[in-house]
Amino acid sequence: MAALNGIEIHVVEERVPFEVQIPTRPVEKGKDIADHVKRTARRLSLTGEVVGPDAGDKRIQIWAMAERGDLVVYDGRNAAYTMLIKSMPTEHDYKIANGFRFTLELEEARIVTVTQSVPESTDPTGTAAAATGNQGMQQLEQKTGEVYATIKSGDSFWRLAGTFKTTTAAIQALNPGVDPRKLQVGQKVRVV
């Protein structure tokens, strides 16, 4: 007697197709070439019967596992783990009075687990605005911090002066130990 997650079922036939995908690429002359093989999800097809006074309950349990997407373990002539129920058509005829015939299709599922958690935030977009209020006329704070530029290939004091809207003399005064003719790529220079 076989079992599907502990539910006993009578299996008459088990079909285990083993397939791989072999992608091919066309070439100018001759046959197409294949450069790799990709394993497909394992499948298992079961044909059998469920009989007895609890046959209806077993059918409902199996359908519920399929609808919830529960991982199932099949233990019969073959064993299969981490499988999902893909389909289960049933036949009800006069030959089986207290049960049914079924064909059950199982397919292997690869489970992905998250290894890094995302921090929870009350503002998922990160665009929260400050609370508004009537605080009268406000003066904006002036940023008086120092600004540095990293020298890239082709940079000069003259080019930096144009970019940061200052003069070459001001940049040279802020960097007394730097020779403007010998700037190195990656060197930091104060511009404001």
Q: Is residue 129 part of a domain?
A: no
Domain identity same for 14 and 74 = yes
Domain identity same for 93 and 165 = no
Written as tens digits, the pLDDT of the chain (192 aa) is: 899 999 999 999 999 988 888 888 888 888 888 888 988 889 999 999 999 999 999 999 999 999 999 999 999 999 988 899 999 999 998 888 899 999 999 999 987 776 766 566 555 555 556 666 666 565 555 566 788 889 888 888 888 888 888 888 899 999 998 888 888 888 999 988
Euclidean distance between CA atoms 44 and 161, whole angstroms: 72
Q: Is residue 56 part of a domain?
A: yes
List the CATH number of the domain containing 162.
3.10.350.10
Full-model pTM: 0.54
- The count of structural domains within the chain is 2
Partner residues linked to 46 by β-bridges: 14, 104
Partner residues linked to 3 by β-bridges: 8, 75
Domain identity same for 41 and 101 = yes
Domain identity same for 46 and 103 = yes
Domain identity same for 81 and 17 = yes
pLDDT of residue 147: 86
Do the Cβ atoms of 21 and 35 come closer than 8 Å? Answer: no
Domain identity same for 14 and 93 = yes
Q: Is residue 74 part of a domain?
A: yes
